């Protein structure tokens, strides 16, 4: 990974080679979809190291190349707009904030802005108040094909099918946000590895979301409980992620500060695939009042 970061930062040609090739491969070959994170991470690295102007210029050139390739080779130029809007542009705003404020938590909070803007556009142009308007035709097509093959749906199964539009909306927003923040985090880690050894670890261990996001999250969670709006529910799930990261940061800080075995981190990451992840996020949210690191660690 360090070699890749060093190769990409050496010149614009190298960076464009990584950005464009990884983005197209991730779209064409689902098994390599995580390469999209590295494509966005190079954009983030340039935004962090050389400024948003460099990042925008690099994104524009990469977009032009991608548009040409997708038009000539795949006959699907729309893919280039998807790559630009999902992989590259959203990461530049938090990278710009992080470059000047040196506050990773604030940058991760700002990364929510493109997601909420994307949700607003989805609401205005495609779905309106009911996301089923957008997803239902695709779901119905799949159901029809299954029925043709003789599959009969039970009442319980139909309940699950009817909840799919809500689930798909939540997955869509979560995927958008995770793409942005992981690209940003990888880019920040690369910057530290190349120019500030050990800097990322210290920064991550001190991760603490801003008070404004804490208050906003509480309001949205309360409204989601009182309302049946699918958008509020999707936002409430989305806002768990920043506190999950904060909870993970606290655990990392404790493992290092108390000189615990790395096995604790391995167990933590396994638990992220279970319901324990919600408890870790709640733990991260409570940190704003209980100050776990300040209370139990003398030095991080």
Who contacts 186 (Cβ-Cβ below 8 Å, separation ≥6)? 1, 37, 38, 41, 44
Q: What angle do CA 16, 17, 23 make, to 5 degrees?
A: 85
Q: Each residue of 220-273: pLDDT tens digit?
A: 999 999 988 888 888 999 999 999 999 999 999 999 998 888 899 999 999 999
Two tokens at 283? Answer: 């733990």
Q: Can you give the pLDDT at residue 298? A: 60
Find the largest Cα–Cα distance for the chain: 65
Q: Are 123 and 193 in contact (CB under 8 A)?
A: no
The pTM assigned to this predicted structure is 0.91
Q: Can you give the pLDDT at residue 129? A: 62
CA-based torsion, 128, 133, 134, 135: positive or negative: positive
Q: Give pLDDT < 50 ranges for the chain.
A: 300
Q: Can you give the pLDDT at residue 300? A: 45
Q: Can you give the pLDDT at residue 141? A: 78
Q: Are 115 and 109 in contact (CB under 8 A)?
A: no
With respect to residue 131, please indicate whether it lies within any of the assigned structural domains: no
Q: Which long-range contacts (CB under 8 A, 24 or more apart) does 126-134 make?
A: 129/229, 130/165, 130/230, 131/165, 131/166, 131/168, 131/169, 131/230, 131/231, 132/165, 134/165
Domain that residue 255 falls in? 208-300
> Which of the 8 DSSP states describes residue 31?
G
> Which of the 8 DSSP states describes residue 30?
G
| Alpha-carbon distance values, 214 to 31, 206, 248 (Å) | 36, 16, 17
- Count of CA atoms in the C-beta half-sphere (13 A) of 180: 30
With respect to residue 53, please indicate whether it lies within any of the assigned structural domains: no
Distance from C-alpha of 181 to C-alpha of 198, rounded to nearest angstrom: 20
With respect to residue 125, please indicate whether it lies within any of the assigned structural domains: no
Q: Can you give the pLDDT at residue 152? A: 66
* Number of domains observed in the structure of the chain: 1
Who contacts 214 (Cβ-Cβ below 8 Å, separation ≥6)? 285, 288
With respect to residue 129, please indicate whether it lies within any of the assigned structural domains: no
Two tokens at 84? Answer: 């630009």
Distance from C-alpha of 268 to C-alpha of 276, rounded to nearest angstrom: 9
With respect to residue 219, please indicate whether it lies within any of the assigned structural domains: yes
Q: Are 70 and 156 in contact (CB under 8 A)?
A: no
Q: Are 69 and 22 in contact (CB under 8 A)?
A: no
Q: Can you give the pLDDT at residue 205? A: 94
DSSP 131-166: THHHHHHHHHHHHHHHHHTT----HHHHHHHHTHHH
With respect to residue 238, please indicate whether it lies within any of the assigned structural domains: yes
140 burial type by CB count under 10 A (0-12 exposed, 13-18 middle, 19+ buried): exposed
With respect to residue 32, please indicate whether it lies within any of the assigned structural domains: no
With respect to residue 235, please indicate whether it lies within any of the assigned structural domains: yes
Q: Can you give the pLDDT at residue 144? A: 76
Q: Which long-range contacts (CB under 8 A, 24 or more apart) does 65-72 make?
A: 65/16, 65/20, 66/20, 66/23, 66/24, 69/20, 69/24, 70/24
First-residue to last-residue Cα distance in the chain: 26
């Amino acid at each position: 990974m360090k070699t890749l970061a060093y190769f990409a930062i050496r010149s614009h040609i190298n960076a464009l080679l990584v950005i464009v090739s990884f983005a197209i491969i991730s779209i064409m070959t689902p098994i390599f979809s995580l390469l999209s994170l590295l494509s966005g991470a190079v954009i983030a690295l340039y935004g962090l190291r050389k400024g948003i102007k460099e990042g925008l210029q690099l994104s524009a050139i990469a977009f032009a190349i991608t548009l040409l390739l997708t038009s000539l080779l795949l006959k699907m130029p729309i893919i280039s707009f998807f790559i630009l809007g999902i992989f590259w542009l959203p990461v530049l705003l938090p990278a710009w904030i992080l470059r000047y404020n040196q506050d990773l938590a604030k940058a991760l909070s700002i990364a929510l802005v493109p997601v909420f803007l994307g949700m607003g556009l989805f609401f205005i142009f495609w779905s309106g108040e009911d996301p089923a308007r957008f997803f239902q035709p695709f779901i119905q097509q799949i159901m029809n094909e299954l029925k043709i093959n003789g599959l009969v749906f039970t009442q319980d199964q139909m309940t699950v099918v009817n909840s799919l539009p809500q689930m798909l909306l939540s997955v869509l927003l979560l995927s958008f946000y995770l793409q942005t923040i992981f690209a940003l985090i990888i880019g920040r880690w690369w910057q530290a590895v190349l120019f500030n050894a050990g800097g990322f670890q210290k920064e991550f261990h001190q991760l603490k979301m801003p008070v404004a996001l804490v208050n906003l999250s509480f309001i949205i969670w309360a409204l989601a409980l009182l309302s049946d709006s699918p958008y509020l529910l999707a936002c409430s799930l989305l806002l768990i992620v920043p506190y999950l990261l904060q909870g993970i940061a606290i655990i990392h800080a404790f493992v290092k500060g108390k000189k615990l075995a790395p096995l604790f981190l391995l167990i933590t990451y396994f638990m992220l695939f279970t319901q324990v992840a919600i408890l870790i996020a709640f733990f991260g949210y409570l940190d704003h009042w209980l100050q776990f690191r300040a209370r139990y660690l003398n030095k991080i």
